C-alpha cells in the first residue's frame, strides 16, 4: 500500500460498552455492555496484522469502562456520540476514492424509535437506529436507518468497495445470568422520546429520496434486511441476526466477552490462511453462532462471492454447511448436522462428501474429509452418519462444507426406449444415478425415440420436449448429451412438483402469493403502477414488461422467503433474493413484499410460461443449489456446485412426513419437519411483443 496510486484500505470501527444513564418512557433502558470495545480492538489488531494497515487509515470511536464510573475511559473526542459517528463517517467518505476498500463495523446497542419521517413511514412508523452512548440525554439523537443508508450510499456512489458489519440487534430479553448478554433493549420497546429531527447527514428530503431510490416498495417501517437496510447491493453486509432476533455477547470458553458474530468472524480469519469469500466466512459463522444461540441467525447480504477484505470475486460454490459434529465413544466423528432438509427436497439415503471450510475446488478428492449418509431429516436441518472417515489428520468442525455425491434409489427416473435401443445410449445411461432404462412394458417417466435423423424425448404421455439444439443421431456425442438432458429434465420436474403435503402443518396456507399486474415502463426506483391483467385467472404479459409478485406473511412468526423462477428453457434461477450471498429475505408477520420481475423469453421462442415458486421456512435454508442452467447447457456437477436432490413429493413426503422428527435432546418434543416450511407457486404466460408492420 505504499504506491499512492493503488487502492487503499480504510476502516471505521465503533464499539460502545459504556452508556450514560438512560431510561425510555416505557421504563426500558440501554444497559452497559462488556464486549463491544474488545471486539473492535480485536478487529483493529487483525487488520494491522493481516493487512499491515497503518494507524492513519483506521477511524475508531470507543466508550469503555474505566476507573471513573461517571464517564467512559476515553477522551470525549473519541466517544461514539451521534455527532462523532456522523463526522467520522463523513471524513471516511471524503478520504475514500474509487476502488478503495472500506470496512465499517459497529458493535453496541441497536434500537427502535418512533419515526421522524412520518411522510415516508406513516405516523406509527418505526426508525431502526444505532444507539450512541449519550442517548439518555433527550437532546441526543439516534443514527437512524435513513441516515445510515445515505452514508452507505455515498461510499458506494464514490466507487468504494464496502463491507459493513453490524454486531447489534433492536430487541432483547433479560438473560438468566451467566456470561451472556443481549445487545438490545431488554423489552424490545420503542423509544417515543421527542428528539431533535435535524440530521447532520443530509436534509430530510434528500434522506427520503435516497431511501426511496434504493427500495421504492419498502415504506412500511424502515426494516427489511439486516434490521436497518432496505436493500443491499453493490456491497457486503454481515449482520448479527434477523430483525426479530437477538445479538448475543458471551464469555467464550469462560473468558472475556465478545459479540458472537465478531468472535467467530475473528476466529475463522485467524485460523485460515487461504483467501475466503464472504459466503464461506458466513457459513462458518452461521454454524458456530446458530449452534450456541437458537434465537440468533446471522445474515449475509450483498456480494457474498467477494473475497474477504478484497475487491476480487470468485464463483460461489453452493455447498451445505456442517452445523454440528457429534463424536462417538472412540472420540471420532460419528454424525454431523447439515444445513439442509425436507424443504429442499432431500430424503434419507442421500450421500455427502465433507470438505474443509476453505476448500473451493471440490474436484480435489485428496481434500475430502469424510463421506456421510443422511439418516434423520428435518425441515431445514438433518443429521448424517459418517460412513467413511477419509482423513484422520484434519478434524471435521462446524462450518465445514458438504456436497452431494450420491442419489437415493427412489430418485431414479425411468426411461423407455421406443423401437430398437441404441447400444451407445445403453452404455451412456448405464450406472447413471438419476435415470435408468426400462423395458417397453414397464412404466416410465420419459420416452426416447428416433424421429428422422434426430432423437426425441417425450414425457410419459408422449408429448415431446422441444430440444434446442437438436440431437443428431449421427453425432457420436449424442448418446452422452441425451442422458445429460434426461437428467436435467428429471431435476427440473422434481423441483416443480415439490410440495409440503402435510395437512396439519401450521404453515399451510400462511403465505399468500399473487401477481398484481404488469407495467411496461417500470425502472428500479420508480413507484410501481401495475396495470391489471386482462384475465387475472390466466395472466399474460409481453417480453420487456415488468410484473409485480406480492408475497404476504400471514403467519404469527417471521418467515424466510425465497422465490425460484422455473423458466421455459428448463432453467431454474433464484430471483429473490437475487444477490449471490443472500439465502433468503425475512418477512415479518402480517407484512408483505412486492417484487418486480422483468419478463423475457429464450432466443427462438415466441411464447411460453414462467413459473414463480415461492418457499417459506421458519429456519434458515439454502435453495440456491436447486438452480439449473438452460437445458442446452451442461449442469455443473454436484461435486462442484453442491446441488440438492429434489424428491418426488407424492412418493416420499406423503409417506414419511408425519412419522419423522428432527433429532431431539433430553427427550424434548420437536415439531415434525413438515411443520416448518411451505411452498406455493404462480405462473404467467409470456409472449413476444407484436412485430411492427
pLDDT class of 18 with cuts at 50, 70, 90: very high
Q: What Å distances lie between residue 646 and 144, 349, 373, CA to CA?
A: 43, 13, 16
Give the CA radius of gyration of the chain. 27
Does the pLDDT at position 490 exceed 70?
Answer: yes
Alpha helices in 470-548 (DSSP H): 478-497
pLDDT, average across residues 218-224? 37
Q: Please, what is the end-to-end C-alpha distance for the chain in angstroms?
A: 61
The 10s digit of each residue's pLDDT in 136-159 is 999 999 999 999 999 999 999 999
pLDDT, average across residues 303-315? 86
Weakest-pLDDT range from 275-279, 313-317, 371-375, 408-412: 408-412
Look at residues 399, 252, 396 and name the one whose alpha carbon lies nearest to residue 327: 396
pLDDT class of 671 with cuts at 50, 70, 90: very low
pLDDT class of 231 with cuts at 50, 70, 90: low
Q: Under a CB-based contact definition with an 8 Å cutoff, are residues 183 and 165 in contact?
A: no
Question: Residue 163's pLDDT is what?
Answer: 96
Question: Residue 650's pLDDT is what?
Answer: 23
The 10s digit of each residue's pLDDT in 240-271 is 988 778 888 888 877 889 999 999 999 999 87
Please work out, in degrees rounded to the nearest 5, the angle formed at the alpha carbon of residue 263 by the alpha carbons of 676 and 167: 65
The 10s digit of each residue's pLDDT in 176-197 is 334 567 777 766 689 999 999 9
Weakest-pLDDT range from 100-104, 112-116, 316-320: 316-320
Does the pLDDT at position 647 exceed 50?
Answer: no
For the whole model, what pTM was predicted? 0.66
Weakest-pLDDT range from 203-207, 303-307, 503-507: 503-507
What is residue 84's three-state secondary structure?
helix
pLDDT class of 317 with cuts at 50, 70, 90: low
Q: What Å distances lie between residue 54 and 3, 346, 420, 529, 639, CA to CA?
A: 14, 49, 74, 51, 41
**Cα 200 to the center of its chain, rounded Å:** 33
Domains and CATH numbers, the chain: 9-302 (3.40.50.1460), 320-408 (2.40.30.230), 411-497 (3.40.50), 511-687 (no CATH)
pLDDT, average across residues 646-671? 25
Question: Residue 603's pLDDT is what?
Answer: 80
Burial classification of residue 496, based on how many CB atoms lie within 10 Å of its CB (0-12 exposed, 13-18 middle, 19 or more buried): middle
pLDDT, average across residues 300-326? 86
Q: Any bridge partners for residue 546, and if so which? A: 519, 598
CA–CA separation, 223 and 251 (whole Å): 30
Does the pLDDT at position 501 exceed 70?
Answer: no
Alpha helices in 467-523 (DSSP H): 478-497
Question: Residue 592's pLDDT is what?
Answer: 93
Question: Residue 230's pLDDT is what?
Answer: 65
CA–CA separation, 539 and 237 (whole Å): 37
Does the pLDDT at position 688 exceed 90?
Answer: no
Question: Residue 48's pLDDT is what?
Answer: 95
Question: Residue 170's pLDDT is what?
Answer: 62
CA–CA separation, 182 and 172 (whole Å): 6
CB-side neighbour CA atoms (13 Å) of 434: 22
Q: Under a CB-based contact definition with an 8 Å cutoff, are residues 227 and 170 in contact?
A: yes
The 10s digit of each residue's pLDDT in 424-450 is 677 777 666 677 788 777 777 888 888
Question: Residue 78's pLDDT is what?
Answer: 97
What is residue 415's three-state secondary structure?
strand
pLDDT class of 462 with cuts at 50, 70, 90: confident
Most confident of 292-306, 541-555, 623-637, 639-653: 541-555
Q: Under a CB-based contact definition with an 8 Å cutoff, are residues 243 and 218 in contact?
A: no
Does the pLDDT at position 282 exceed 70?
Answer: yes
* Percent of the chain at pLDDT exceeding 70: 83
Q: Under a CB-based contact definition with an 8 Å cutoff, are residues 570 and 650 in contact?
A: no
Q: Under a CB-based contact definition with an 8 Å cutoff, are residues 672 and 663 in contact?
A: no
Cell triple for 583: 439465502
Weakest-pLDDT range from 97-111, 269-283, 670-684: 670-684
Amino acid at each position: 500500500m505504499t504506491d499512492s496510486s493503488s487502492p487503499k484500505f480504510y476502516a471505521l470501527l465503533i464499539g460502545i460498552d459504556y452508556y450514560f444513564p438512560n431510561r425510555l418512557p416505557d421504563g426500558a433502558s440501554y444497559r452497559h455492555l462488556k464486549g463491544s470495545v474488545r471486539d473492535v480492538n480485536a478487529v483493529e489488531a487483525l487488520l494491522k496484522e493481516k493487512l499491515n494497515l497503518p494507524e492513519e487509515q483506521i477511524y475508531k470511536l470507543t466508550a469503555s469502562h474505566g476507573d471513573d464510573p461517571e464517564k467512559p475511559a476515553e477522551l470525549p473526542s473519541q466517544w461514539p456520540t451521534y455527532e462523532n459517528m456522523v463526522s467520522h463517517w463523513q471524513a471516511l467518505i471524503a478520504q475514500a476514492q474509487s476502488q478503495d476498500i472500506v470496512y465499517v463495523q459497529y458493535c453496541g446497542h441497536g434500537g427502535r424509535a418512533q419515526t421522524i419521517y412520518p411522510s415516508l413511514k406513516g405516523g406509527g412508523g418505526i426508525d431502526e437506529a444505532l444507539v450512541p452512548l449519550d442517548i439518555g440525554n433527550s437532546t441526543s439523537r439516534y443514527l437512524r436507518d435513513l441516515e445510515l443508508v445515505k452514508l452507505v450510499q455515498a461510499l458506494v456512489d464514490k466507487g468504494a468497495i464496502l463491507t459493513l458489519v453490524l454486531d447489534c440487534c433492536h430487541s432483547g430479553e433479560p438473560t438468566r445470568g451467566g456470561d451472556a448478554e443481549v445487545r438490545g433493549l431488554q423489552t424490545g420497546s420503542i423509544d417515543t422520546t421527542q428528539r431533535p429531527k435535524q440530521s447532520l447527514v443530509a436534509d430530510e428530503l434528500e434522506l427520503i429520496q435516497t431511501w426511496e431510490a434504493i427500495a421504492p416498495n419498502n415504506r412500511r417501517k424502515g426494516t427489511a434486511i439486516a434490521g436497518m437496510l432496505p436493500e443491499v447491493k453493490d456491497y457486503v453486509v454481515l449482520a448479527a441476526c434477523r430483525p426479530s432476533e437477538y445479538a448475543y455477547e458471551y464469555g467464550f470458553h469462560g473468558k472475556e466477552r465478545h459479540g458472537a458474530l465478531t468472535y467467530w468472524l475473528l476466529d475463522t480469519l485467524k485460523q485460515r490462511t487461504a483467501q475466503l469469500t464472504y459466503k464461506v466466512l458466513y457459513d462458518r459463522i452461521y454454524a458456530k453462532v446458530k449452534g450456541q444461540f437458537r434465537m440468533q441467525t446471522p445474515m449475509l447480504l450483498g456480494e457474498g462471492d467477494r473475497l474477504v477484505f478484497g475487491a476480487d470475486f470468485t464463483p460461489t460454490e453452493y455447498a451445505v454447511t456442517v452445523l454440528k459434529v457429534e463424536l462417538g465413544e472412540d472420540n471420532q466423528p460419528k454424525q454431523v448436522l447439515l444445513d439442509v432438509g425436507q424443504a429442499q427436497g432431500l430424503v434419507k439415503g442421500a450421500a455427502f462428501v465433507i470438505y474443509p471450510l476453505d476448500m473451493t475446488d471440490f474436484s480435489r478428492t485428496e481434500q475430502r474429509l469424510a463421506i456421510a449418509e443422511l439418516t434423520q431429516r428435518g425441515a431445514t436441518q438433518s443429521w448424517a452418519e459418517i460412513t467413511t472417515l477419509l482423513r484422520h489428520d484434519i478434524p471435521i468442525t462446524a462450518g465445514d462444507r458438504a456436497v452431494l455425491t450420491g442419489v437415493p434409489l427412489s430418485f431414479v427416473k425411468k426411461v423407455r426406449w421406443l423401437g430398437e435401443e441404441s447400444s451407445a445410449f445403453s452404455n451412456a445411461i448405464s450406472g447413471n444415478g438419476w435415470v435408468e432404462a426400462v423395458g417397453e412394458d414397464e412404466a416410465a417417466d420419459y420416452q426416447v425415440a428416433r424421429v428422422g435423423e434426430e432423437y426425441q424425448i417425450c414425457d410419459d404421455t408422449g408429448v415431446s420436449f422441444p430440444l434446442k439444439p437438436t440431437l443428431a443421431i449421427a453425432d457420436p456425442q449424442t448418446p452422452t448429451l441425451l442422458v445429460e438432458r434426461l437428467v436435467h429434465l428429471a431435476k427440473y420436474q422434481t423441483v416443480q412438483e415439490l410440495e409440503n403435503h402435510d395437512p396439519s402443518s401450521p404453515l399451510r396456507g400462511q403465505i399468500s402469493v399473487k401477481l398484481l399486474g404488469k407495467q411496461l415502463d417500470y425502472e428500479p426506483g420508480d413507484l410501481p403502477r401495475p396495470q391489471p391483467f386482462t384475465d387475472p385467472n390466466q395472466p399474460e404479459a409481453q417480453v420487456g414488461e415488468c410484473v409485480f409478485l406480492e408475497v404476504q406473511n400471514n403467519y404469527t412468526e417471521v418467515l424466510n422467503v425465497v422465490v425460484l423462477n422455473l423458466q421455459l428453457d428448463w432453467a431454474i434461477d433464484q430471483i429473490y433474493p437475487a444477490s449471490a450471498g443472500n439465502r433468503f429475505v425475512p418477512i415479518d408477520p402480517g407484512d408483505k413484499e412486492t417484487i418486480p420481475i422483468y419478463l423475457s423469453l429464450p432466443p427462438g421462442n415466441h411464447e411460453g410460461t414462467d413459473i414463480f415458486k415461492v418457499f417459506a421456512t421458519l429456519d434458515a435454508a439454502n435453495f440456491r443449489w436447486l438452480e439449473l442452467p438452460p437445458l442446452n447447457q451442461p449442469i455443473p456437477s454436484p461435486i462442484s456446485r453442491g446441488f440438492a436432490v429434489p424428491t418426488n413429493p407424492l412418493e416420499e413426503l406423503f409417506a414419511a412426513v408425519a412419522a419423522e422428527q428432527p433429532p431431539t435432546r433430553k427427550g424434548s418434543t420437536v415439531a415434525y419437519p413438515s411443520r416448518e416450511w411451505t411452498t406455493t407457486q404462480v405462473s404467467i404466460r409470456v409472449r413476444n411483443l407484436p412485430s411492427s408492420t
